[in-house]
Amino acid sequence: MPDLLVRGIDADLYERIKRAADRERKSLSQTAYEALSQKFKPSKEEIWAEIDRFRESVGPISSDSSVDVREWRDNDERGR
């Protein structure tokens, strides 16, 4: 997994992150990671574009799963 080094962080910002980490009983690194993850989470448009790319790679699905679902539902030996 890649690492990210952020240089020149304002001392006040650093202290706010550190206090938040202490308050949540998490590491400074974990707190910063969660903040970055929240800030840069993919948009709905990006998520749907990825879903569309996946659908194109899979292609059309021609089977009807209702037969399989009924068979599984009606099977008395589901645990097997």
* Inside any domain, residue 31: yes
For 36-59, what is the mean pLDDT? 94
Domain enclosing residue 19, as ranges: 1-44
Band of the pLDDT at 78, cuts 50, 70, 90? Answer: low
- Provide CB contacts within 8 A for 17, sequence distance 6+: 28, 31, 32, 35
**pTM, two decimal places:** 0.59
Structure-token pair, residue 52: 């569309």
Q: Residue 11: pLDDT band by 50, 70, 90 thresholds?
A: very high
Angle made by CA atoms 2, 48, 43, in degrees to the nearest 5: 55
Q: Quick check: helix, strand or coil at residue 62?
A: coil
Mean of the per-residue pLDDT values for the chain? 91
Report the domain count for the chain.
1
Structural domain includes residue 30: yes
CA distance 30 to 20: 11
Per-residue pLDDT, 59: 87
In a domain, 73, yes or no: no
Q: Which residues contact 31 (CB under 8 A, 6 or more apart)?
A: 17, 20, 21, 24
